[in-house]
Each structure stands twice: as C-alpha cells, then as structure tokens.
Structure 1
Amino acid sequence: MKLLNKSLKYLSISILLIVTIWSIIFYINMLDEIQDSIDDGLENYKVLILQKVDTDPSILKKSFFDESNYAIREIGEKRALSMKDQYRDTLMYMQDEDDLEPVRMLTTAFEHKGDFYELKIINSMVEEDDLIEDLFWSVFWLYVILVVSIILINNIVLRKLWKPFYNFLNQVTKFRLGSTRDLPNISTDVKEFNMLKNAVNSLLQHSLETYQHQKQFIENASHELQTPLAIATNKLELLLEKGNIESEQAEGIAQVLQIIERLIRLNKSLLLLTKIENKQFFDQQNISLNRIVQQTLEDLEEFATFKNVKVTIHEHTDLNVEMDPALANIIVSNLIRNAIFHNLPQGNVSVDIKTDMLTISNTGKREPLETDKVFNRFYKSSDKKMDGTGLGLAIMKAVCNLYGFRVSYRYLADRHCFEIQFKNSQEKVER
C-alpha cells in the first residue's frame, strides 16, 4: 500500500472514530434535553393538579385518563410514603385514536386531608418522537457529510503534499547509471523531502563515481590483458614456425597456446558479463527471435554436422521481444551451442518457439545438472571438458535478469531442457 493511502487510511479511521463518538454523544445529549423538557412540563402539571385538589376535591375521584391526561386513585399510607416521582416512557390508547401511542408518564403520590393518593400524569410523545427521529436523521446525515468531506479534503490536501515525493520517486526509479545525466530533483519547501533529495543524490553521486571508476578499470584491465596475451601468442607461434624445436617442446607450446586462447575468451566473457550487469546495452529494438534462431542454426550447421547432432526447430508462432539485438543473439547462441556441444553422438536438439516462450532441449548426459548451480559462474559438470569458460549460462542468465525474463532448467524424459519465459516480466530495462 502506498504511503499516501496508508496515511489517509489511518487519518480517516481516526476522524471516523472521533466523529462517531461525537455524533453518539450529541444525539444522547439532545435526547436527554428533550426528555428533561417533557419531565419539567409534567412536574408543572403535577403542581397545578395538587393546587386544584385544594379547591375542587371532586377530581380525586377521576380514576381514568381523559382529555385532562391524568388519573388519581386512593392507595395506602405505607405504599404512598415509599413512592418517589418516577418518569418512564410507555404506550397507551389515546382518545379518538385506535392505535397505541408513545407517552411520557409521571407516577407520584400525595396526601390530602389524611388520605393518600397515587397520581399519574401523561404527556403524548408523538410530536417529540417525530422531533427525535428528525434529530436522528439530521445527526446521521451530518455525520456522513462530515466524514465524506473530511476524507475528500484530506485526500486532496495529502495528494498535493505528497506530489513532490512521488515526482522525485519516479525520477529515482527511472535513473540509470551510465545513461541518465541529471540527478533527480524536486522543488518543495518541505524540509524532510529536501533532506531525502540530498541524501539520495549524495548516494547516487557516489554510485556514479564508483560506476565510472569500475567501468574504466574494466576497460583498462581488458585492454591491458589483451596486449600481453596477444604478444605471448605471437611469440609462441613464431617459435613453432621456426621448426628448430623438438616435438615434445612443440606439443608443450601448443598446449600453452590453447591456455592463452582460453584466457582471451575468458577475459572477453567476463568483460561482456560485467557490461550486462552494469546495463551498458541500451539499443532497444523489436527483435524477431525466429530470425535469430534460424541465423544461429545456419552459423552452427557445420559444428552440428561435425558433432553428428540433428537439430530440429518447431515454430508455433512469431516471437518478438523488445531488447538489444546483441544480447538477443547471446542468449540464443549460447543455449543452442551448449545443446550441441554437450550432446551425445547421434543425439538431437529440439528448438520450440511458442507464444512468449523459447524452449531448447537436447539429449546428453543421462543425469540432471545441479538446478541450483547450473546458472552460476564457472559451473561445470563433473565430466565437462575444460574447453569452455564456464560463463555461457551465467551470461545468458544475466541477460534474462536484465530484462526480467524468467529462465529455468529441468531434466525430463532423458532430455536437458532450458526454457525462457518472456511474458509477465517483473522489470523492464528503461530505454
């Protein structure tokens, strides 16, 4: 969840809780005020009735409710003395009404000329109920409007507040060492955002300097290694051409030449791998993998014939990807070359091109490779010859990681199968 949404979530929940508590308290207080007002009216009515009893004792015989809304009946002294004024809500049939109506009733006791009486006074709550209902809905809609308004306002305000942060984050996300010239920048008066910008730019500046030093070192090291290796190769070849050396010495020189040649290939492979990991390939094009596979098979046709390996291709669809052409050639040629080189006599290689997927399987050693190590640098199976550099699959894996492609290996039905999934890549290299 985004920080903006998370902060908005916590703020909205807090405001929602506060407004909810306030609404409940407000409603209860208003309801209490209405009941207090009704109870005060009943109390005044009680005083008037007691005053009327002194002038008109006949009302003591009024034992049922009528238009005057009170009733009196005689009770015992003990009960009268134990009674206190009691207010309660109840339902009663009112005059000219067929249905029960809500009323507020006061029950009390009084004494008149040595006799004790119970007095019940009622007040219709029909209008008050309507008032309470109106009050409830008024509070409810006020509550809803307040919550919605607060959320909308805070959302607008917070989005405006966090806009510089997301702009800066977008610039940092698109920043690429070696290709992006300007450091990410934002214009804001928020102290924390400016502190973040300075900290990130300081780290990026340090990374840029380290990247340039590393790049320069790799280029210099590669160049410096190529020169002495080339000189050593030339001198050894001159010794062989003179022909005044013994056969054992010539054989030793030939072995040294093979080692030097392997060092040259290893140096080039390590340089290529470093360039891939440093994202120094940015020639993005729409590449047809079908065409690259066909060209690779043509280039390796003589090699396959020499190894006596049959290669078949199954094109189920046209497979196009956005990537650097040189890197596309690397992943295809490395897989096909490995499939031919590490095959059995009279073996075969199958290349399947499907929608967003390239699968290369081959016969070979009848036991699976170590799945967790097969893409490691310098990984070689136990019986593998020392002719290769051990970097082919590592380079191919680095290219796939660069573009977010998923590469996998499995051993199925006595066949070694490598599969590259181009769809749903997790990250794409920015152009």
Structure 2
Amino acid sequence: MAVALLVALTAWAFIFYVNMIDEVHDSIDDGLDNSKLLIIHQANLDSTVLAKQSFDEGNYAIRKIEGHHALNHYDVYKDTLMYMENEDDLEPVRLLTTVFEASENEFYQLKVISSMVEEDDLIEDLFYSLLWLYLILIVTILAINTVVLRSMWKPFFKFLNHLSEFKLGKNEQVQLLKSNVAEFKLLNKVIADVLESNIRSFHNQKQLIENASHELQTPLAIALNKLQLLAENPELSEEVVNEVFQTIETLQRLTRLNKSLLLLSKIENKQFLNEETIDFNDLIKSLLLDFKELIEFKELEVIFKKEDDLKVKMNPELARILITNLIKNAIRHNFNKGKIELLITNSSFQISNSGSDKELDSTKVFQRFQKESTDQSSTGLGLAIAKSIVDISGYRIEYAYSNSMHQFTVKFD
C-alpha cells in the first residue's frame, strides 16, 4: 500500500510539473503571437521596418525569402540561447519563426524572441517548491499512515499473540478482538466458532479416552484375576494349566497394548499440558537404577557419557515415558552380554545398543506396530510413543546405524 501511494504521488508530481512548464510556455507563446501581429501591422504601415535584419535594437529580425519557401512554412516555437551584449553572455530565449506577405508576392521571414530568464527562474522556483511539497506530503502521509495502521492493527496482533499461547484444556478463554472494523468483527465470529468446535471435540475425545480406559481395563483385570485363581486349582491337568497361562500372557499383552494406545491417543490430543525444566542427567540415572535388575539379568555393559548438563523444558511425565521407552527398547532388542551406550550433551541425548547386525528401515522404525523381533511381550508401540512425545514437544528424534550399534538421538535444539 505504501509503495502504491509513493508511486501515485510521484506520478502526480511529475504530471503537475510538466503541466506547469507547458502553461509557462503557452503564456510566452501568446506574447510572441501578439508581438508578431504588431510587427506585421507596423511593417504594412512603415516599410523601413522590413529592413531590420538583426536583433541588435529590438526583439525581432526580418529577412526576405522566396515565395516557394514561404508557402511551405509554418509557425515554429522553440527554446534556444542567444548572446546578449548587455549581459555579455548567452541567455535562454523563446523564439518564434513565422512568414508573412508584406506586399503582393513579397514574402518575409519574421523571427521574434522573448527572454526566458524570469520564466526560467520561475520554473526553477516551481520545481523546488513542488519537490519540497512532495517530500512533505510523503513524510506526512507515511507518518499518519503508520500511526493509524499501528493503532488499527494493535489489537489484532495482541489477539494473535494471545491466540498463539492458547492450549486446549489449559486456558479455554480467549479474549476476542475489540474493534469496530467490520472485517475484525467477522474474524471474531469465525474464530469463536472454530474454537468452540475444537474445545467441544477435545472434551469429547478426552471423555472417550477416559471411558475406554476404564471400560477396557476393568474387565481385563477381572479376567486376569480369575484366570490366575483358576491356574492355582490343583485339580487342573498340566495341559490345561499351560493353556491358562498362555491366555494370561495374551490378556497381559492386550492390557499393555490398551494402555499404550490410550497413552498415544492422550499424547496426540495434547492432554499433557504442564511443562517444567527437566534435568535429564538426573532422570536418566534414576531410570537406569529402575532397570538395573533387567540389565544385570542380560549381563549388559552400560556406558554412560556426559559431556554437559542437559536441561529441557517439557512435560515431566512425557520426559519420563520418553527415556523409559528408549532404554527399554535398547534392553529388549539387545543380546546377552551386549552393550548400551548413553551420551548426553547440552542439546541432545543419544542411546546406542548392540543387537541385530542389520540396519533398520529409518522410514518405518517409528511407525506403530513396527517390530523387528519376535518378542511377544513387545507391543510395537514404544518407539511410536517416543516419536509422538518428541514431535508434540517440538523436538526431533533420529535413527542411525553406526559401528554395529543402533543409535537413537533426541535433539532438543
């Protein structure tokens, strides 16, 4: 808008300046026409006028020309320079060249001049006046435009800032725009409708997840308890007991799967809202102690390297689930007497583990139910949950295979 206004004002100033110069020339040309008529009239009364062939003592000069030249001649106006004795310099003049017939078949060329010194001064003054007016107009319009636009858009940008901090389930009251502008009023209505729909959908999904968790977990827990009691019955044959234990394992896997899917749904629906600064150094050390027995059972070598402290702002529950899943993945997909390496920097956490001697498909490793092992206790959702946590927190996780080690790196920069 500002550029268009600048172009329009520039064009207006240029056209105005050209028109003013044209008006000045028209005024001079009218004067030359009047002088021409007076000189021709005087020549018809006094033939001595025809003998004046130079501009020495006047503003005109006359010379005789052939008739065929006169018939093809038109009045010509032009700007030129002429030497002025009194100024001893060349001065700008406006020159009219015309032809007239003094007597029958006697044609003369008449040149009439008019000094443009004053007119040039006028044009120069006009140019600078117009230039200053143009600059003042530009500065004034831009200043007013800036003040008005800033005042008009201030509530809009304040609203955008407030909207960017809005989180479902945390602060569901959004202060709408206070403006008399019709477009802003329409924006208020649209955003209010969208927010109301999203908030309603969020609460419906949250309620569905909570209901699903309760309705599924309760019967699964009851079924597991009954099967465990049944397995303790001494009257059952060994074959039946084995079948019961297989069923218990299936139900336990179904329970874990249900919990993982519900957790994944909660993460993707952004139901973990509160954030705080997490010290990952302390968190990782604490979780390694929790897995100490499992690590010792598989006789794994754990190498913990710390280059710097890693402190990140995120949800504490999600941070714990993220590290738990990555450590659990490194243990589960490792072989006995294998190795786990953990590296912490000020902006990343990397966990590497020995295991399969082939590289995993990096395009599929974080997909749901993607399993490279035949471990029935695995749900195939651990890395998918880790990826979802990292994404929802605004960070990145990458997979690489180097030196026979599977590496998972979480980057917090």
Shared fold, TM over 0.5:
yes
* Structure 2: distance between partners of 1:384 and 1:72: 118
1:213 aligns with 2:204: yes
Residue 385 of structure 1 aligns with an amino acid whose one-letter code is: D
**Is the Cα–Cα contact under 8 Å of residues 406 and 422 in structure 1 kept in the other structure?**
yes
Match of 2:385 among 390, 395, 416: 395
* 1:140 aligned partner: 131
Match of 2:98 among 101, 108, 119: 108
Match of 2:362 among 371, 380, 386: 371
Match of 1:34 among 20, 24, 28: 24
**Is the Cα–Cα contact under 8 Å of residues 89 and 105 in structure 1 kept in the other structure?**
yes
* Structure 1: distance between partners of 2:154 and 2:218: 54
1:68-108 CA-partner distances (Å, limit 9, x unpaired): 23222222222123322210112232224455432210111
1:328 aligns with 2:325: no
* 1:121 aligned partner: 112
Equivalent residues in 2 for 1:58-73, closer than 5 Å: 58-73=48-63
Equivalent residues in 2 for 1:236-255, closer than 5 Å: 236-255=227-246
Q: How many residues align?
A: 412
CA-CA distance at 1:67 after TM superposition: 4.8
Match of 2:294 among 303, 311, 317: 303
**Is the Cα–Cα contact under 8 Å of residues 331 and 399 in structure 1 kept in the other structure?**
yes
Residue 73 of structure 1 aligns with an amino acid whose one-letter code is: R
* Structure 1: distance between partners of 2:102 and 2:223: 136
Distance 1:78 1:353, change over 3 A: same
* Structure 1: distance between partners of 2:75 and 2:189: 75
Distance 1:120 1:334, change over 3 A: same
**Is the Cα–Cα contact under 8 Å of residues 77 and 96 in structure 2 kept in the other structure?**
yes
**Is the Cα–Cα contact under 8 Å of residues 284 and 323 in structure 1 kept in the other structure?**
yes
1:409 aligns with 2:399: yes
1:297-354 CA-partner distances (Å, limit 9, x unpaired): 2222332222232221221111111112221111112112212221233332222212
Percent identical pairs in the alignment equals 48
* Structure 2: distance between partners of 1:88 and 1:384: 101
| Structure 1 vs Structure 2 CA RMSD | 2.3
* 2:170 aligned partner: 179
What secondary structure, in the 3-state scheme, does the structure 2 residue paired with 1:231 have? helix
Residue 405 of structure 2 aligns with an amino acid whose one-letter code is: R
* Structure 2: distance between partners of 1:75 and 1:413: 106
**Is 34-43 or 109-118 further displaced after alignment?**
109-118
**Is 26-35 or 165-174 further displaced after alignment?**
165-174
- TM-score normalised to structure 1 length: 0.88
1:10-30 CA-partner distances (Å, limit 9, x unpaired): x33443343333223212211
What secondary structure, in the 3-state scheme, does the structure 2 residue paired with 1:111 have? strand
Match of 2:82 among 75, 92, 96: 92
Residue 320 of structure 2 aligns with an amino acid whose one-letter code is: N
- TM-score normalised to structure 2 length: 0.91
* Structure 1: distance between partners of 2:91 and 2:332: 98
* 1:361 aligned partner: 352
* Structure 1: distance between partners of 2:198 and 2:103: 105
* Structure 1: distance between partners of 2:68 and 2:331: 115
Gaps in structure 1 of 5+ consecutive residues: 1-10, 424-431
CA-CA distance at 1:116 after TM superposition: 2.5
* Structure 1: distance between partners of 2:183 and 2:48: 85
* Structure 1: distance between partners of 2:32 and 2:397: 86
1:155 aligns with 2:146: yes
* 1:261 aligned partner: 252
Gaps in structure 2 of 5+ consecutive residues: none
Match of 2:2 among 12, 17, 23: 12
